[in-house]
Every structure is written in structure tokens, then in C-alpha cells.
Amino acid sequence: MVLGADGMLGTAWMKLLEERGIPARPATEPALDITDPASIARFVDTETRAVINCAAYTNVDGAEEHEALATKVNGDAVALLVARCDELGIPLVHYSTDYVFDGHGDAPYPVDHPTDPVNAYGRSKRVGEAHVAASDGPHLVIRTSWLYAPWGKNFVKTIAHYAKERDSLKVVNDQRGRPTSAEHLARTSLALLEGGHRGFFHGTDGGECTWYDFAKAIAEHADPSCVVSPCTSEEFPRPAKRPAYSVLDISKTEAAVGPLVPWTDALASVLPRLS
């Protein structure tokens, strides 16, 4: 059962499962309401072998004004999903974010590093993590970062679009993390699930960069004539504060499933396929 199957990651999951010949049932709004126990029970039934939760409130800036809603979806609803999966004895694969960390580090964050989010979105996701961690069930929490795909609304598609329309772009160069292809994240997640791994993992692509580095690589493909220049976060203020350094340590994941694809290679495979 893939919850949020029409979103960026959910779409990647559905494509992967079809490719592997694994039966999958999609669940999307408005038919599914993950904040309603009765709705969850209707979808997650005794035929369900695993629940992949790709449903989330993902508007980082919007969460500053609507933290209660973000927490209801990213936190409280996860408790309901955990309870239902525990009742059926099946695994829940749940996704969290690099934004649960404070961004003050200078080395990749291991999975057991204390969380201290600097924005409402991060706080809402930490609530969800806590609900999964409190269960003894066979569940997976996979933190990811800077997610993109050939479809949906994401940074790669936005920069590629602007690079074709504008002569120049300014992008922040003081926030560092790991880009993640939704397609690769789905494959990594399935490998962890099928390998019997449980608990907390980090799932991204390999390597790290700043948003400026990322944007420059995108623009070079979309339109090399577009000049991408670095700027500071202060020059590009947003409602939600972002962690300056949110590189996730992926060594535990790589030990479990093998090397993760470098972000430059992942990006190169996606750029020609942007919808």
C-alpha cells in the first residue's frame, strides 16, 4: 500500500513496484485521509503486506504559519498509521527529513544524532519520528533531503525552467546538504525493506553540495548561457529558517544496501526526462 501515491516519491514507488512486478495499491486524497483512523482502516486492511507512507505536509515555509496542520499530518497521523500497522503486524516505511537537525554541525549527521529542528516543518516531522520510535513494530524511518524527480514540483524543475527564461540566477551558497532522486530513494527504501532492515536510516544520493552548486549543475544542462551566481541566505529571506549544514551520514545505509549513486550521476539521468 503506497500512501500519497500521486506525489513525487509516491509516483517513484508506484513505477518501481510495477517495474519489479510487485502488486501495489495506491492511496491518495481525497479518498484517503491519513488523519482519520476509519479512513486508514478502510485502506490498510488484512491483505496489506506493508505500508509505504509518502503522504506528508511538505510546505516548509507554509508550516511556519500552519504548524498545527503540519503536525497533524506529519506527526499525529503517523501515530495512527503505526497503530494500524502494529495491529496487523506489518511494516511501515515512513519518511522524515534532514530538517530535524539544527544545522550547526560540520560533519554528516549520523542517524542517532540528537534532533533539534530550527523550523516548524522539522518539528512536525520529529513528532512523527517519535511515534514510530515508540513502537516495537518492524518499521523503517528513512530521513532524506533535497528531493526531486522528473515529475512534480521541485528545485530541479524550477531551476531548469528559470534557466531557460532568464539571463541570470542567484542561489544561496551557505546551505549544504545532499540532493536525492526520488527514483533512487524508492529503490534504496525497497532494498532496505526487502533486506529485513528496520529502525532509522538515511536515504539520499552520494556526495554533497550547496544549493548554488546544485543549481549551477542544473542550469548548465538546461541553458549554459544562464549565469548562476552565489548569494547568502540573508539576501534571499524565507519565512522558515533553513539549517546551514544538513548533510546526512549515509554510511549505515550503504553498509546495508551498497554504495548510493552520486548526486551528479543521479541528476544527469533525470535532467533529460523532466516533464
Neighbours of 106 (CB within 10 A): 8
- Give the whole-angstrom CA distance, residue 274 versus residue 14: 18
Residue with cell 496489506: 48
Distance of CA 49 to the CA centre of its chain: 22
DSSP conformational letter for 228 = E
User: Do the bridges between strand 92-97 and strand 51-53 make them parallel or antiparallel, or are there none, so unpaired?
Assistant: parallel
DSSP string for residues in 47-77: T---EEE------TTHHHH-HHHHHIIIIIH
**Residue 109 annotated in active site:** no
Does an H or E element contain 245, and which?
none
Q: How far, CA to CA in Å, does 202 sit from each of 94, 215, 271?
A: 12, 23, 24
Q: Where are the alpha helices (DSSP H) in the chain?
A: 8-20, 37-43, 62-65, 67-71, 77-88, 120-133, 155-165, 182-194, 211-222, 251-257, 263-270
List the catalytic residue out of 95, 99, 109, 121.
Answer: 121
Neighbours of 100 (CB within 10 A): 25
Closest CA to 176 of 218, 229, 212, 217: 212
Active site residues: 121
